[in-house]
Amino acid sequence: MYRICFVCSGNICRSPIAEALLRARLVDEGLDTGIVVDSAGTGGWHAGEPADPRAVAAMNAAGYPAGSGDHTARQFEVSWFDECDLVIALDRGHESELRRLAPDAAAAEKVRLLRAFGDDGADAASGEALDVPDPYYGDDAGFAECLDIIEAALPGLLKTVRERTGAVG
């Protein structure tokens, strides 16, 4: 099994969207066998809660299946570095926190920024552009924008997954 875990702050907005979108793309491309996709937060303040209803609405509006009862927020645990092949941070703050938590250099190497996979105009020289903005304190439009940004990074992520797993879809 190849395991991917998306990580944002509280695991109710960005990371559940990324998880649902990647799962759907894996199914669409016939790559859903042998690849496990999950998500978590750097903090535990939303642990046990479902995805934010605005995130669910944005996914449903974009045609992705996203039942609100299908997700339960949880906090990333250091032991998951042993289980995951890729730990994908949604912004530079999450990336820094995950690298700080990593027990060794091999674990830290598993941490990547989601938008670093994309070809959506994000510029590595401008770290700000690599962040997926947190829609939590904004309006519904912020969730749709977040979804679009995540969607734009998926082709590059899928390419990496194919290369690392030898999967053909």
Q: Which residue has the higher pLDDT, 57 or 66?
A: 57
Nearest to 169 by CA among 19, 18, 27: 27
Q: Does residue 169 lie in a domain region?
A: no
Q: Does residue 137 lie in a domain region?
A: yes
Q: Does residue 167 lie in a domain region?
A: no
Number of independent structural domains in the chain: 1
Opening angle at CA 111, ends 105 and 113, nearest 5: 145
Is residue 4 over pLDDT 90? yes
pLDDT, residue 121, reads 47
pLDDT, residue 77, reads 98
Q: Does residue 168 lie in a domain region?
A: no
| CATH number of the domain bearing residue 49 | 3.40.50.2300
Helix (H, G, I), strand (E, B) or coil at 88: strand
- Average pLDDT rounded to a whole number, residues 70-90: 97
Structural domain including 24 reads: 2-159
Residues carrying an active site annotation: 8, 14, 134
Nearest to 139 by CA among 9, 6, 13, 4: 13
What would the pLDDT profile of 115-130 be if each residue is shown by its tens digit?
Answer: 999 865 454 555 557 9
Produce one character per residue of 94-118: b if its CB has 16 or more CB atoms within 10 Å, e if not.
bbebbbebbeeeebbebbbbbbbbb
- Average pLDDT rounded to a whole number, residues 80-93: 98
- Average pLDDT rounded to a whole number, residues 103-124: 84
Q: What is the pTM of this model?
A: 0.93
